[in-house]
Structure 1
């Protein structure tokens, strides 16, 4: 069960004018709880003026080896979002020694290190989880190779520029690095421009044997991830080999749908305990559960992070949108509680599966 713990800030490193890396110290007694797979994320929580703010940020540090100790530190990357309450706080107010409430790791945008060729297409802050994936894979598996294709606006706006360069120096034969800048010409390398579907459809086969890549990792804004997936599907890549994590989705008003049945209820199992509660008109199932179980897991409430994933035991729900669950997860019966609304009078969810 995901839980929050206050962790002290061990370092605040300025990456670019609009991004920082926060490093947290993990005390010995919590290191097992904060053991993470490469690519997972942390939800950070702050309470201000009586309001609780939660935001999710990917871990960029390598994952601990199986069987060894859990991590003594955790590092995340934060990019400033216009009007963003938490990102503004992270960039302008957080200092060394401050304590921030941090949820234990979550997320399924991960790679279990194994031999083979892997590749990623990332945009902007989408480099953050992939940095953890690449560094962990190449350190643990000498028979693995990785092709990293990243798009940024300018060199000055590129997060983790030095960290990626260090990885390239450390593994020159096993890490292929391709950088494309959309607003700045490079002295060498590819011409400037966006990494859209058409460009990727031409670029990817020229860079590597697309059909031999064991896993593709797409991360960043919705447009880039969507375009990269369509390009890969057009090149014959099976959907099961494409993994996605979206960082930015434009807000959209969901299409009107039939209201929930009158007197509908949700039964939820959470951390070994269950309960049944009435669903108020218009609220999501997560909102219903939170009114009665404030410890229910969530972060973004926008269908992006997947923290509120639950198994649909019985009943039917309507999800407004889903940018977090893979097709096999929804087919297996998982839903995002923050986006789910009751279609039947009785719905049962299990957050523990």
Structure 2
């Protein structure tokens, strides 16, 4: 559900990014009390067309009765309708429709050693995770390895510096710039799989890290995961969220590989359960299952429609589907029967989804 929230501040972070803070009215404080790592979807209507974009919350999670602070980072995307609006037009006092926090990149703080590898705006949810963890768990340690193009393009420099100042013994920061030399830190260049495989054991005891958080562009996350697996890190300790996928990147995910060879039926019918109500509709040629539901149920959950955010996750009750892309679901989720409705197309005459599971 979307709620109209007033913008309390828009702060310039870099030449191409801003931080937006929303005022949360008293009656919605519990609704917007987020878990570290979660995101919100923002909605805007332009010329009668709906635009939705997902942005991660960067602020520490507040416990009851503390007032929650919802602040998101937005980086300008070339041709991006919402990011262009956010950087060039949005100001304090404006109203934006905001969906309540969600997402499976969420992390409940616990004692232990944790680390993150992030690129660009991928710092946003990890900033919330690290700040909340260090404040709540006196024995916890966090290592942040971040990659950016240049120092001038680095988001949330002051916030990360504050973590280093407040917890110098428990917060480790390693920075890499791909297009600029720096006086301290790593030599310039991209953090690819080969480089990370050699670098990580020199920075921290890899085997002792209880959880790894990977966030940013697809290439960085894929390379970081490959390096960690090569170093013997169990899949269950690796958590990832993709922020950007280049067009033409091949589809991934267990469901895609299993179903790709199945014949496509001439006509299919979708049965879907959402918020306790079920409906049955014909699937039009070329439509995804999400598009099929949206024709009759505008409240169907989605944000990016690109297989990245995971908002449209649903349980496949019966039938078979093909997922064109999957950058949001973990292998355990696809093996358990979950699919992304925005990327799923029917491979059987009858398909049933449950969005409530």
TM-score by length of 1: 0.96
For 1:193, the equivalent position in structure 2 comes to 189
In the alignment, does 2:124 pair up with 1:128? Answer: yes
Distance apart, 1:252 and its partner CA: 2.6
In the alignment, does 2:148 pair up with 1:152? Answer: yes
Q: What SS does structure 2 have at the residue aligned with 1:203?
A: helix
Measure, in 1, the Cα distance between the counterparts of 2:300 and 2:263.
Answer: 24
For 2:256, the equivalent position in structure 1 comes to none
Measure, in 2, the Cα distance between the counterparts of 1:320 and 1:203.
Answer: 34
- Map of 1:70-219 to 2, 5 A cutoff? 71-219=67-215
More moved, 86-95 vs 306-315: 306-315
Q: What SS does structure 2 have at the residue aligned with 1:286?
A: helix
Distance apart, 1:71 and its partner CA: 4.3
Q: What SS does structure 1 have at the residue aligned with 2:305?
A: coil
TM-score by length of 2: 0.95
For 1:334, the equivalent position in structure 2 comes to 338
C-alpha distance after superposition, 1:285-310 (max 9, x if no partner): 00000001011010110000001011
Measure, in 2, the Cα distance between the counterparts of 1:282 and 1:258.
Answer: 16
C-alpha distance after superposition, 1:231-273 (max 9, x if no partner): 1111011111111101110123878976642331111111111
Distance apart, 1:179 and its partner CA: 0.6
In the alignment, does 2:73 pair up with 1:69? Answer: no
For 1:275, the equivalent position in structure 2 comes to 279
Measure, in 1, the Cα distance between the counterparts of 2:66 and 2:261.
Answer: 46
Measure, in 1, the Cα distance between the counterparts of 2:19 and 2:247.
Answer: 26
Q: Indicate which of 12, 29, 33 corresponds to 2:27.
A: 29
The 8 Å contact of residues 259 and 281 in structure 1, kept in 2 or not, is answered as: no
Structure 1: stretches of 5+ with no match in the other structure = none
Q: Indicate which of 40, 44, 48 corresponds to 2:38.
A: 40
The 8 Å contact of residues 25 and 72 in structure 1, kept in 2 or not, is answered as: no
Aligned pair in 2 of structure 1 residues 143, 93: CA closer, same or farther (>3 Å)?
Answer: same
Measure, in 1, the Cα distance between the counterparts of 2:331 and 2:60.
Answer: 27
Distance apart, 1:352 and its partner CA: 1.1
Q: Indicate which of 261, 267, 290 corresponds to 2:265.
A: 261
The 8 Å contact of residues 274 and 354 in structure 2, kept in 1 or not, is answered as: yes
Q: What SS does structure 1 have at the residue aligned with 2:90?
A: coil
The 8 Å contact of residues 62 and 68 in structure 2, kept in 1 or not, is answered as: no
For 2:226, the equivalent position in structure 1 comes to 230
Distance apart, 1:73 and its partner CA: 2.8
For 1:305, the equivalent position in structure 2 comes to 309
The 8 Å contact of residues 31 and 69 in structure 1, kept in 2 or not, is answered as: no
RMSD: 1.4
Structure 2: stretches of 5+ with no match in the other structure = 252-259
The 8 Å contact of residues 43 and 56 in structure 1, kept in 2 or not, is answered as: yes
For 1:322, the equivalent position in structure 2 comes to 326
Measure, in 2, the Cα distance between the counterparts of 1:284 and 1:148.
Answer: 38
In the alignment, does 2:300 pair up with 1:296? Answer: yes
In the alignment, does 2:355 pair up with 1:351? Answer: yes
Distance apart, 1:346 and its partner CA: 1.2
Greater than 3 Å deviation, 4+ residue runs: 69-72, 253-260
Give the count of matched residue pairs. Answer: 349
